[in-house]
Chains A and B, each alone.
Chain A
Amino acid sequence: MNIRNGLMIVLGATLIAGCGTTGEAEQPGASVEDRSARKIDGAEVKPVTAVDPMGAALAAVKQGVLAKRSVFFDYDSYVIKDEFKSLVEAHAQFLVANPKVKMLIQGNADERGSREYNLALGQKRAEALKKMLSLLGAREDQIEAVSLGEEKPRCSEGNEACWSQNRRDDMLYTGEF
Chain B
Amino acid sequence: MMTDLMKSALLRAAFALAVFSLSFAARAQLTIEITGAGANRIPIAITDFVGEPGVSRAVALVVRADLERSGLFKLVEAGTPLAENAAVNFADWKARGADALVVGSVAPAANGRFEVRFRLHDVQKQASLGGLAYVMTPQQGRATGHRIADFVYEKLLGEPGIFSTRIAYVVKSPGRFELQIADADGMNAQTALASREPIISPAWSPDGTRLAYVSFESKKPVVYVHSLATGRRHVAANFKGSNSAPAWSPDGNKLAVVLTKDGASQLYSLNADGSGVVRLASSAGIDTEPFFSPDGKYIYFTSDRGGSPQAYRIEAGGGTAQRITFEGSYNVTPRLSPDGKSMAYVSRNGGRFQLTLMDLATRQTQILTDSDKDESPSFAPNGRMILYASEIGGRGVLAAVSSDGRVKQKLSVQAGDVREPAWGPFLKN
Contact = CB atoms under 8 A, between A and B. Distances in A.
Interface of A: 104, 106, 112-117, 119-124, 127, 144-149, 151-152, 158, 177
Nearest to A111: B373
Contacts of B375: 113-115
A176 to B, nearest CB: 10
A148 B420 CA distance: 16
Contacts of A113: 330, 332, 346, 348, 353, 375
B288 interface: yes
A158 B240 CA distance: 32
Contact of A114 (B219, B287, B302): B302
Contacts, number: 100
A56 to B, nearest CB: 24
Contact of B200 (A116, A120, A124, A146): A116
A113 B376 CA distance: 10
Contacts of B309: 114, 117
Given A147-B221, A151-B198, A116 B288 contact: yes
A15 B353 CA distance: 66
Contact of A151 (B200, B285, B394): B200
Nearest to A141: B240
Q: Which of B265, B287, B330, B353 has the most CB of A within 10 A?
A: B265
Nearest to B329: A76
A146 B198 contact: no
Nearest to B240: A144
A88 B216 CA distance: 26
B201 A117 contact: no
B264 interface: yes
Nearest to B199: A151
A150 B188 CA distance: 30
A119 B265 contact: yes
Contacts of B201: 115-116
Contacts of B394: 158
Contacts of B245: 116, 119
Interface in B253-304: 258, 260, 263-265, 285-289, 302
